[in-house]
Amino acid sequence: MMIDLAIFNGKFYFPEYKRVEKLSPLLPSIYEGIKLLKKISKNEILDIFHEYSKNLIKSTEVNKIEGIAFLSSWLKRNNFIQIVEKSFKDLDYLENFIGDKKRIKAQPRGIACHWIAGNVPTLGLFSLFQSIFVGNANILRIPPKSHKTIVALLKVFAETTIDSGLSGANLLTSVGIIYYNKSNIKANIELSEIADVRIVWGGDSAVKSITGLPKKAHCEDIIFGPKYSFAVFDKDAVISKNFTRYLRFLVSDIFLFDQAACTSPHVVFFEKGLKNIEEITKDLVEAFNRAIKQFPKIDIDQFITSKIINIRAQYALDLDKKVICPTENDWTILANDQIQLEEPIESRTIFVKEVDSIMAVIPLITRKIQTIGCAIDDKNKLEEFADEVTFRGVSRCVNLGQMHLFDSPWDGMLFMSRLVNWVTLYYGK
């Protein structure tokens, strides 16, 4: 078997990969990386992350990558501290034994192995930076189409320095980025058997193929599997002065990542009220037309293009359905009265539906639903709706425009707390 290394021990081999036959001989240097992380204070790591957040926006090489604004905001010191505090309450648990006679500390688990999906390359960095912060070594298996993006982002990180002289390159001594063909079962098994934590981002088949691999008995599995998201508008939001702004936020959620993310809305439900669906659709068309001028389509996937053409034709031939779209494949609005979740088409294709009440979507909820973007002005109504849908499995109810904002908890878990091993120390009798 052959494995390509783009980065290992903070050294950059890209685009000329270093090729190895096995990962196991590299483990001693990985463990040295963990020891180095232990010597670096959490405040220094926070400083590096914060400086990196600024450098991402400054760098002309990476600042146009989709999702960079979110990643930059997420890495800022104040935001990252909030994420840490949600998982640990006190940052000090990561550096000291806390308590009186019974003392508790959060130690790193060891080696975290990440299998990263190819649809949204930056997602892998959200799990990587949290794992670095708690002190784990990390090996990321990245699909080839994401390599250039990840390596470019980590080069900016490696070059980020703080006043103490520490840099992102110091933190990358414990990080490896690898690639091997998905048919390389031996490489997958070896990576799995190395892991103290397995972190899997991907679709159903990818998740099953990895979770079924041999692993250490103590290995923790963290799965970010296939998810589905949609949006809802209540009748008061539709006639409110904020409606145009809500539509603009909805369209931004649709455009970002071209609906390839698990947080992308594919259906939007409008509650019946003073404004009918035809009027609403006209307003949505205006929002699409404004957005396309600012964010024209660049990469057009031929397979998805054929799906768009087919679904447009189906709707055009059905009197009970309606298709609204420009001549080009810039965006597509598909309207029907069936209260159901539709199969995602992606590439700025949205299904619009009218419902008597937003509560009519509750029977559609399963644990596969990750995020619901909400335009509900009445706080009591919003809380009632959120309580019902989250009880049935939805992980996040958020404002429109924030559907892709990576937060904690995510997918129903406090991710960082699962990357550590909670240990105890007793004083006295």
CATH code of the domain containing 244: 3.40.309.10
- pTM of the shown model: 0.92
What would the mean pLDDT of 179-188 be, rounded to a whole number?
86
Same domain membership, residue 208 and residue 265: no
Residues 64 and 159 in one domain: yes
What's the confidence (pLDDT) of residue 120? 80
In a domain, 282, yes or no: yes
Q: Are residues 367 and 416 in the same domain?
A: no
Sign of dihedral through CA atoms 134, 136, 142, 148?
positive
172 and 298 in a single domain? The answer is no
Residues in contact with 187: Cβ distance below 8 Å, sequence separation at least 6, in sequence order: 1, 3, 23, 180
Shared-domain flag, residues 261 and 157 = no
Q: For the chain, how big is the Rg over CA atoms in Å? A: 23
162 and 290 inside one domain: no
Question: Mean pLDDT throughout 75-92?
Answer: 94
Residue 260 has pLDDT above 80, yes or no: yes
Whether residue 43 is contained in a domain is answered as yes
Mean pLDDT of 85-92: 92
Domain annotation covers residue 266: yes
15/58 same-domain check: yes
320-332 pLDDT, tens digit per residue, is: 999 999 988 899 9
Residue 429: pLDDT band with limits 50, 70, 90: low
Identify whether residues 161 and 36 lie together within a single domain: yes
Q: Which tens digits make up the pLDDT trace of 25-81?
A: 778 888 888 898 999 999 999 999 999 999 999 999 999 988 899 999 999 999 999
Does the residue 406 lie in any domain? no
**270-295 burial: b if 16+ Cβ within 10 Å, else e:** bbeeeeebeebbeebbebbeebbeeb
> What average pLDDT does range 173-198 have in this prediction?
90
Report how far residue 256's alpha carbon sits from residue 126's, in angstroms, rounded to the nearest whole number. Answer: 17
- Please indicate, yes or no, whether residues 269 and 388 belong to a single structural domain of this protein: yes
Burial status of residue 103 (CB atoms within 10 A of its CB: 0-12, 13-18, 19 or more): middle
98, 126: one domain = yes
- Reported as a pLDDT band with limits 50, 70 and 90, residue 144 is confident
User: Containing domain of residue 281, as a range?
Assistant: 228-399
Residue 302 sits in the same domain as residue 216: no
405 belongs to a structural domain = no
Q: Is residue 272 part of a domain?
A: yes
- Tell whether 91 is covered by a domain: yes
Give yes or no: residues 189 and 276 share one domain: no
Name which of 38, 8, 10 is nearest 160 in CA terms: 10
Q: How many domains does the chain have?
A: 2
Mean pLDDT of the region 142-170 = 91
pLDDT tens digit sequence for 212-222: 999 999 999 99
Residue 415 lies in a domain: yes
Q: CATH number of the domain that 215 lies in?
A: 3.40.605.10
